């Protein structure tokens, strides 16, 4: 290959959506393009491949990239909603179906999974994350990579995955997208990098860099991330692609003076492929001639890309859809979408067992809100290829389920979730007043979350809170179903409704899944993958926080309204909390109610003390003491209370989903190896330190059932 052809492999250009412009045809034929994105017309894709294989000098096929984030034609819950299922097997199945549908359209590479840790609901892209916890996100990232790629990504219906955004993107200041991230290395290694490492160890073909800078060096040109961590420490042999035009943006950040310096900085730091912009194509050859970049570096970059194409089997068969293969019928996209939506639903509150509703005793039902009948909005963000015709909305599903026996009174009340006109309130109030129950479908439409859609205030937008208040005054029981792309601060409305079901943006089959839960055809089993704040001002709030030197307790907390007028200001202070919000979230990580009751007892460890390198078994008795079958997500948390660096008050280290019949009891076991308790210390090396550990098992991060064990000191021998 000539230098120009090698550089061509490093160039990812945008497609034209169903046709091939002359300039793109010429560039591919000249060997100056290695990949094309956003082309999903099968005939066009195959013509692009034909040009690359038959007309370019080296005959190297193309990568065809697309954002297949949470489905293709069939849309599953947004990733944060999928994470609420705590079900890796189900998530792998969803990615498998998405890959099959995308592959049938010619796509062979997706820009997913997004594995950034999301701890700030103001950030619009929290919708795409797998939540706030490194352990859960790592497990689900592996499931998605396996779903997209399978054991062999060259097999029909499989596509290459791309773990993004490397790294720290989820910690953008103030939750503003693209914003600066300042993350101490110890936190970067202990919190933000583990899901990426899990994806690498699962065989992910590619990684994408973050838009943001990291501790002063934009990720697109961050050699610490791309060379030291990714290549040297983790041994990654795939390729790294930039995000959209993030190479020339290095100059906007202020790291470089112009496109030439940007190309030099990114290539020197370890970036392999440039997305959309053309600084590599325009400047790398000249930089090689000037001795600024070695031919060895260009060879390595091209080799990383070519290795991915080999893994995908593109040299053997570059074309898509030309064989008899089609997505197997047993994948059942609609069934999987319904199961995934069902698994994502989290019952946050259920006062006096308002849910499930009893169909035989229901004469009339008010359905109110702008999210009740929106086929597109329930799909959520990043659904370029989603087919709204496949959407079954909650209103449609309710009418189909209830039939003619129950009168359904539908009132939109608000044009959108952002509306500030109360013109539709009187009709909504009358519908609620004259009905046995009112179902409120509120939240935020999909445009309010996703990339570049951050919010400073995460309450219900518009005048939805006032709508709830006026409907509450009717005395009719209110069931609030929230469709949203992020956790919302719901403290102001939680006491005005009888129950709250959080549905996220549930995808194509969200309607039937919601109806299944509302009427008890299924018991809710979703659990929160992210903490819900009481008010926006508590953000960031997450369960795995540090203890501080002055941890809050119920005894040390005082509310702003309870402070006497003449209270004395003491320099000694008190503890760490907000005067107007306390220190607890509205709902903790891992929380989720069911229609049955589960008890935990007899928490025990196989040994009280274990030597280094020896595994420990943790067991607990879990019993269904209610009268309905249900799923429980059994969660294990640990704490290292004394360490060489301060550690979180709790960390998730295991979870099991178990189905229990009424009266059934089961022993649930977890195996803990000392390596599972390792963290990066002051020298940035992973270590497991000897000493006592606390362990909790329960139904959320607020579990109270606790025991202890000890890891012994290494032998003196």
Nearest CA to 105 among 75, 144, 143, 65?
A: 65
Report the C-alpha dihedral over residues 590, 592, 594, 600, rounded to 10 degrees.
Answer: 30
Q: What is the pLDDT of residue 322?
A: 56
Task: Go through the chain and tell me how many residues it has.
Answer: 717
Question: Residue 262's beta-bridge partner residues?
Answer: none
Q: What is the pLDDT of residue 255?
A: 98
Report how far residue 138's alpha carbon sits from residue 647's, in angstroms, rounded to the nearest whole number: 19
Residues 6+ apart with CB under 8 A from 310: none
Which residues are designated catalytic?
A: 243
Do the bridges between strand 109-110 and strand 63-66 make them parallel or antiparallel, or are there none, so unpaired?
A: parallel
Q: Is the pLDDT of residue 707 over 50?
A: yes
Nearest CA to 66 among 105, 34, 124, 93?
A: 105
For residue 324, name the pLDDT band (cuts at 50, 70, 90): very low
For residue 193, name the pLDDT band (cuts at 50, 70, 90): very high
* CATH top-level class of 334-518: alpha beta
pLDDT tens-digit readout, 328-387: 777 899 999 999 999 999 999 999 999 999 998 899 999 999 999 999 999 999 999 999
Q: Is the pLDDT of residue 152 over 50?
A: yes
Check: CB of residue 49 under 8 Å from CB of residue 319.
Answer: yes
Sign, CA dihedral 621-624-629-634, equals: negative
The label of the residue with tokens 């909603």 reads: 81
Structure-block tokens of residue 466: 């006032």
Check: CB of residue 460 under 8 Å from CB of residue 440.
Answer: no
> 514: helix, coil or strand?
helix
Q: What is the arithmetic mean of pLDDT over 564-579?
A: 81
pLDDT more than 70, % of the chain: 98
Check: CB of residue 306 under 8 Å from CB of residue 60.
Answer: yes
Name the CATH superfamily housing domain 598-711: Immunoglobulins (2.60.40.10)
| Domain map (residue ranges) of the chain | 334-518, 598-711
For residue 327, name the pLDDT band (cuts at 50, 70, 90): low
Structure-block tokens of residue 687: 């270590």
For residue 572, name the pLDDT band (cuts at 50, 70, 90): low
Q: What is the arithmetic mean of pLDDT over 133-152?
A: 98
Report how far residue 192's alpha carbon sits from residue 168's, in angstroms, rounded to the nearest whole number: 6
Q: What is the arithmetic mean of pLDDT over 473-492?
A: 98
Q: Is the pLDDT of residue 716 over 60?
A: no
> 45: helix, coil or strand?
helix
């Amino acid at each position: 290959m000539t230098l120009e052809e090698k550089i061509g492999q490093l160039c990812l250009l945008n497609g034209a959506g169903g046709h091939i412009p002359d300039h793109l045809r010429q560039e591919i034929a000249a060997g100056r393009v290695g990949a094309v994105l956003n082309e999903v017309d099968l005939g066009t894709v195959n013509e692009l491949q034909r040009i690359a294989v038959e007309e370019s000098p080296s005959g190297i096929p193309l990568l065809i990239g697309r954002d297949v984030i949470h489905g293709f034609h069939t849309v599953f819950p947004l990733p944060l909603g999928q994470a609420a299922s705590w079900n890796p097997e189900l998530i792998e199945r969803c990615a498998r179906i998405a890959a099959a549908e995308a592959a049938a359209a010619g796509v062979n590479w997706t820009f997913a999974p997004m594995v950034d840790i999301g701890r700030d609901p103001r950030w619009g892209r929290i919708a795409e994350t797998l939540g706030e916890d490194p352990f859960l996100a790592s497990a689900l990232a592996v499931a998605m990579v396996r779903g997209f790629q399978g054991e062999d990504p060259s097999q029909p219906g499989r596509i290459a995955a791309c773990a993004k955004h490397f790294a720290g993107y989820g910690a953008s200041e103030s939750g503003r997208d693209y914003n600066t991230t300042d993350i101490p290395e110890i936190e970067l290694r202990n919190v933000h990098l583990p899901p990426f490492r899990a994806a690498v160890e699962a065989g992910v073909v590619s990684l994408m860099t973050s838009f943001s800078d990291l501790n002063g060096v934009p990720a697109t040109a961050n050699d610490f991330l791309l060379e030291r961590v990714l290549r040297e420490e983790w041994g990654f042999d795939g390729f790294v692609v930039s995000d959209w035009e993030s190479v020339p943006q290095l100059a906007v950040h202020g790291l470089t003076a112009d496109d030439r310096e940007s190309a030099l900085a990114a290539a020197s730091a370890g970036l392999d492929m440039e997305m959309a912009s053309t600084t590599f194509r325009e400047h790398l050859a000249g930089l090689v001639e000037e001795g600024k970049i070695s031919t060895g570096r260009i060879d390595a970059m091209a080799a990383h890309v070519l290795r991915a194409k080999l893994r995908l089997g593109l040299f053997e068969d570059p074309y898509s859809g030309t064989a008899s293969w089609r997505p197997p019928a047993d994948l059942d996209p609609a069934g999987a979408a319904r199961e995934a939506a069902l698994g994502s639903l989290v019952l946050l509150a259920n006062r006096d067992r308002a849910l499930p509703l009893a169909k035989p005793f229901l004469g009339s039902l008010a359905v109110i809100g702008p999210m009740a009948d929106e086929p597109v909005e329930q799909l959520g963000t990043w659904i370029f290829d989603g087919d709204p015709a496949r959407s079954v909305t909650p209103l449609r599903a309710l009418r189909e389920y209830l039939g003619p026996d129950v009168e359904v009174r539908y009132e939109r009340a608000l044009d959108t979730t952002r509306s500030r006109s109360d013109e539709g309130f009187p009709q909504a109030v009358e519908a609620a007043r004259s009905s046995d129950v009112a179902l409120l479908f509120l939240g935020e439409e999909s445009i309010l979350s996703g990339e570049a859609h951050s919010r400073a205030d995460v309450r219900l937008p518009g005048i939805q809170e006032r709508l709830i208040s006026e409907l509450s005054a009717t005395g009719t029981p209110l069931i609030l179903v929230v469709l949203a792309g992020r956790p919302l601060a719901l403290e102001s409305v939680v006491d005005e409704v009888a129950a709250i079901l959080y549905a996220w943006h549930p995808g194509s089959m969200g309607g039937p899944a919601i109806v299944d839960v509302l009427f008890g055809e299924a018991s809710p089993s979703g659990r929160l993958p992210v903490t819900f704040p009481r008010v926006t001002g508590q953000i960031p709030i997450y369960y795995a926080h540090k203890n501080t030197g002055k941890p809050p307790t119920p005894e040390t907390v005082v509310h702003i309204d309870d402070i006497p007028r003449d209270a004395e200001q003491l320099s000694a202070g008190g503890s760490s909390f907000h005067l107007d919000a306390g220190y607890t979230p509205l709902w903790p990580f891992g929380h989720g109610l069911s229609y049955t009751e589960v008890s935990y007892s007899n928490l025990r460890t196989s040994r009280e003390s274990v030597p280094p390198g020896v595994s420990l078994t943790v067991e607990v008795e879990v019993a269904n003491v209610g009268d309905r079958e249900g799923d429980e997500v059994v969660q294990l948390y640990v704490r290292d209370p004394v360490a060489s660096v301060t550690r979180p008050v709790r960390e998730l280290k295991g979870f099991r989903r178990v189905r229990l019949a009424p009266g059934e009891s089961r022993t649930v076991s977890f195996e803990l190896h000392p390596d599972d308790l390792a963290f990066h210390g002051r020298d940035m090396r992973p270590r497991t330190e000897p000493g006592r550990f606390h362990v909790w098992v329960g139904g959320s991060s607020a579990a109270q059932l606790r025991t202890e064990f000890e890891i012994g000191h290494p032998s003196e021998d």
